[in-house]
Amino acid sequence: MRKGTKIGWILVAFSIMLSTWVIMSQSTHADQEVGDFTLDDGGTTIISYNGSGGSVTIPDGVTTGPSGTFYGNSAISSVNLNGVTTIESNAFYGCTGLGSITLPSTVNALAQDAFAECSNLSSISSSSSAYPSSDGCLYNSGMTRLWLVPEGKSSVTLASTCTSIASGAFDRCGNITSVTIPSSVTDIDSGAMTGSSIATIYGYTDSAAESYAVANGLTFVALNAASEEESEESTASEEEEEEEEESE
C-alpha cells in the first residue's frame, strides 16, 4: 500500500471517530423539557419558559433564573421560586402581571434590576437571610441598608434598623411622590431616588435626608420644625413670666 493511501485511510478513520464523538456529546448534553420549561442538561438553569402564564412554579432542582428568563411576559400572575438560589439581571423584566413575589430562604444572589419594569409589583416578601424584607421592600443581610423598593409601591415605611439607602433603591418607583427618612438614616447613596417620582423628603434638619434633598433639588420638610417652634414659644413664655415676677 502506498504511503499516501495509508495516510488517507487514517484521516478518514479519524474523521469518523470525531463525528461519532460529536454526536454522542450532543446526545449526552441535550437540554431538558420539564413541564413548561426548557432546562440545561444538568437541570439547574432555565433556558426558556414556554408556558401560557398564570401561576408558575419553578421546577425542582433549578437553582438559577438567568437574565431574561421571563422577559416581557405580562401573562404571569405569580411565581413560586421553589429552591432557586440565583436570580440574574432582568430575569423578570416587564412582568407587569406580578403583584407580589416571595423570595425563598435559598436565594443568596439577586440582581437589583431582576424585577425591572414590573410596574405592578408592590410587595416583595422574603425568608432569605441574604435579602430580608420589611414593608414589602428588601434590605441587606443586617437590615441596615434599604436595597430595593418594588416599582408598584405607593408608600414606604423604612425599617427602624435602617441606617443607609443604596443607590437605585427607588429606581422606577413612579407611584411614590414623597418619603419620610428617620433620623437613624445617616447615609443616602447618590442616585438612591433617581428614576423615581419622589419630589419631597420629610426628615430632620442637618441630616442625611436634608443633604440629599438639597443636593438633588428636592423639597425638604423638617419634621422637627414644629417641636423647635414649640420650644421657642415655651422659652419666650418663661422669659415673660420671669420679667413679670421681677417687675412685681
Report the predicted TM-score, pTM, of the whole model to 2 decimal places.
Answer: 0.80
Reading the block at residue 210, the C-alpha cell is: 436634608
The mean pLDDT value for 228-246 works out to: 57
DSSP assignment of 93-110 equals: TT-TT--EEEE-TT--EE
- With 90 as the cut, is the pLDDT of residue 34 above it? yes
Reading the block at residue 63, the C-alpha cell is: 437553582
- With 90 as the cut, is the pLDDT of residue 97 above it? yes
- With 70 as the cut, is the pLDDT of residue 177 above it? yes
- With 50 as the cut, is the pLDDT of residue 24 above it? no
Of 213, 173, 168, the C-alpha closest to 189 is: 168
Q: How sure is the predictor about 30, in pLDDT bands with cuts at 50, 70 and 90?
A: confident
Q: How sure is the predictor about 23, in pLDDT bands with cuts at 50, 70 and 90?
A: very low
Burial 60-99 (b: 16+ CB within 10 A, else e): eebbbbbebbbeebeebeebebeebbbbbebbbbbbbbbe
Reading the block at residue 36, the C-alpha cell is: 413548561
- pLDDT at residue 26, as a whole number: 46
CA–CA separation, 131 and 138 (whole Å): 6
φ/ψ of residue 104, rounded to 5 = -75, 170
- pLDDT tens-digit series, residues 37-59: 999 999 999 999 999 999 999 99
Find the length of the chain: 248
Beta-strand pair 54-57/76-80: parallel
* 3-state secondary structure (DSSP) of residue 47: strand
Beta bridge partners of 44: none
The contacts of residue 229 (CB under 8 Å, 6+ apart) are: none
Task: State the average pLDDT for the chain.
Answer: 88
CA–CA separation, 89 and 94 (whole Å): 12
Task: Give the rounded percent of residues in the chain with a pLDDT score beyond 70.
Answer: 79
Reading the block at residue 120, the C-alpha cell is: 405592578
The mean pLDDT value for 236-243 works out to: 60
